[in-house]
Structure 1
Amino acid sequence: MDQIFYDAVGSNPIIAAVKSMEDIEKCCAIEEIQVIFILFGDVCSIDRIVKRVKDAGKVAMVHVDLISGLSPKEISVEYLEEHTEADGIISTKPSLIKKAKELGMYTVLRYFLLDSMAFENIRQQQHMVRPDFIEVLPGVMPRVIKRICGSVKTPIIAGGLITDKEDVMAALSAGAIAVSSTNHQVWKM
């Protein structure tokens, strides 16, 4: 697998997370945005959504858990790989991450940090699943992000509740390699 996703995040650590076609149009118009997390769509529209992102020259990552009509099974990943131009997937389900890796897609394993058990799950599952990136939410917890970065080798993306430059800088300073945000103002930083 080549380095497209890694290079894109390296050139700009802001990832646009989109929830509508209007969001896609706005972030595709921002040249600096290189990676787009697609957080909406259904089985009938996801191919067109991904195509719009790819036509803009961006890396398209589909949050498979949020696509209506797709099941939480490995066949959904196969469908995305065969019927869209998606570069990779985002999921909270380790089995879907493993399947995407088998198919040569980029992977982001998303965790919601609710308690110390979630932190321990990150440490344990990174070795079994081996995602390309781990996304932790909410991303406005620099001390926790620093702790995770110190205990795992997988690059960390901070997402959720990132709303201003201070949030971005705090997450990056804590060791995250990028932040994902639905906030249009953050995309323009």
Structure 2
Amino acid sequence: MDFQTKVLAGGKIGAAIRRLEDIEEAIRHPKIKTIFLLNGDINKLPSIVNRVNKAGKIILVHIDLIEGIGKDAAGVHLLKRMGVAGIVTTKSNLVKFAKEEGLFVIQRLFIVDSESVKTGIRVASNIKPSAVEVLPATVPAYVVSEIKKALNIPILGGGLLKTRKDVEEALAKGIDFVSTSRRDLWEI
């Protein structure tokens, strides 16, 4: 199954979970199909992954932010064995390991200036992730357009989304999917 069918699942919003107490609400939420885990540790991860999978939802783990997981091939293999669908990372070397394990990979790109756009495109062109996530999601439309044209993969947006209007504007710019920790925006 491809990234758009399985991870994006026809939706536009994913739940970004920073506080573990929010995981249950994301699991129960009828509009949330994809959960991005942005916090936690190796000890709690197996039960979280199990609960998300049992609910028929997709979980992607931001490997850079989870404590106790090696940021190496063994750590990625462990995540695969636990049942995660994919990883989010800023580290290019982890993309290779995740792809070898058959996991989806979202390469996070922090867009702070025109050089970071060029660098992000160059890096993603070389490592070929399943998708890229631009942060913040409030980047100008021309940035989204440049990245889409250069990479021809889904673009996710995260960060600095506070209102429904912010989400609508991000999607109108061409961002395919947004992740947010704001529960009130999960309804969109």
TM-score by length of 2: 0.93
Looking at structure 2, the residues matched to 97 and 19 of structure 1 have their Cα atoms a distance apart, in angstroms, of 22
Q: Which amino acid aligns with 1:53?
A: V
Q: Give the match for residue 179 of structure 1.
A: 178
Specify the alignment match of 2:112 in structure 1: 114
Question: Aligned pair 1:152/2:144, yes or no?
Answer: no
In 2, the alpha carbon distance for the partners of 1:187 and 1:97 equals 28
One-letter code of the match for 1:145? Answer: V
- Provide the alpha-carbon RMSD of the alignment: 1.4
CA distance 1:64–1:119, shift in 2 (3 Å): same
| Aligned-pair CA distance for 1:152 | 2.3
1:66 is matched with which residue? 65
Aligned residues, how many?
186
- Contact 1:145 1:171 (C-alpha < 8 Å) held by counterparts: no
Gaps of 5+ in 1: none
8 Å CA contact 1:61, 1:87 repeated in 2: yes
Structure 2: gaps spanning 5 or more residues = none
Larger deviation: 144-153 or 108-117? 144-153
Shift of 1:10: 4.5
Q: In terms of mean alpha carbon deviation, does 132-141 or 146-155 score higher?
A: 146-155
Residue 150 of structure 1: CA displacement? 3.1
Does structure 2 conserve the Cα–Cα contact (< 8 Å) formed by 1:97 and 1:107? Answer: yes
Runs of 4+ in 1 over 4 A off after TM superposition: none
Summarize deviations over 1:41-66 as a string: whole Å, max 9, x none: 11111111111111211111000001
User: Is 2:137 the partner of 1:142?
Assistant: no
**C-alpha distance in structure 1 between counterparts of 2:101 and 2:71, whole Å:** 17
Distance (whole Å) between structure 2 residues aligned to residue 48 and residue 20 of structure 1: 15
- Alpha-carbon offset, residue 142 of structure 1: 3.5
Q: Where does residue 44 of structure 1 map in the other structure?
A: 43
What's the counterpart of residue 22 of structure 2?
23
1:77–1:100 contact (8 Å) kept in structure 2 = yes
Task: Name the SS of the counterpart of 2:178 in structure 1.
Answer: strand
Once the two structures are superposed, what CA deviation does each residue of 1:75-126 show, in whole Å capped at 9, x if it has no partner?
21111112x1101100000111111111101110011112222111221112
Match of 1:124 in 2: 122
2:61 maps to amino acid: V
C-alpha distance in 2, partners of 1:20/1:48? 15
TM-score after normalising by structure 1: 0.92
**Sequence identity, in percent?**
34
- Tell me which residue corresponds to 1:9: 8
CA distance in 2, matches of 1:85, 1:171: 30
Q: Whole-Å Cα distance in 2 between the matches of residues 23 and 142 of structure 1?
A: 30
